[in-house]
Amino acid sequence: MSTTAENIQRQISENPVLIYMKGSPQLPQCGFSAQTVQALMSCGERFAFVNVLDNPDIRAELPKIANWPTFPQLWVEGELVGGCDIVVEMHQSGELEKLVKAAAQRAGAAEGSDNA
């Protein structure tokens, strides 16, 4: 049986674009998660998500691993991008879309398919 930390590491490594959020992309359960997921969705690429409200172990452990205390957390290619303020700023500058599209393109090329 794997530990919570191992599960988190696996999720981050297996998903080129991953958001840890409160709720789901279709039904965010906090304003910050809603803003972040909206910015991410506007990039037009597929992404994975983990609802930390359904996973209290991840909600407790991830801030220690990431050294980032709050949610949402956006991870791209194994690197923490940041939370709501950073993601929204990156979206407004056009930087987020470039980052997400490049990650999706590399993941597609590596897999040779479009599965997430």
Residue 43 annotated in ligand binding: no
Residue 54 annotated in ligand binding: no
The length of the chain, given as a count of residues: 116
Asked if residue 22 is part of any domain, the answer here is yes
Residue 30 annotated in ligand binding: yes
pLDDT score of 112 = 58
CATH code of the domain in which 61 resides: 3.40.30.10
User: In this structure, what DSSP letter does residue 15 have?
Assistant: -
Beta carbons of 45 and 30 less than 8 angstroms apart: no
Report whether pLDDT(114) > 60: no
Asked if residue 39 is part of any domain, the answer here is yes
Q: Note the pLDDT tens digit of each residue in 84-101.
A: 999 999 999 999 999 999
| Domain hosting residue 51, numbered range | 4-107
Asked if residue 115 is part of any domain, the answer here is no
Q: How many domains is the chain built from?
A: 1
Asked if residue 51 is part of any domain, the answer here is yes
Report whether pLDDT(116) > 50: no
Residue 84 annotated in ligand binding: yes
Residue 71 annotated in ligand binding: yes
Q: Note the pLDDT tens digit of each residue in 12-41.
A: 999 999 999 999 999 999 999 999 999 999
The answer, as to whether pTM is greater than 0.95, is: no
Asked if residue 114 is part of any domain, the answer here is no
DSSP result, 44-89: T---EEEETTT-HHHHHHHHHHHT--SS-EEEETTEEEESHHHHHH
pLDDT score of 69 = 96
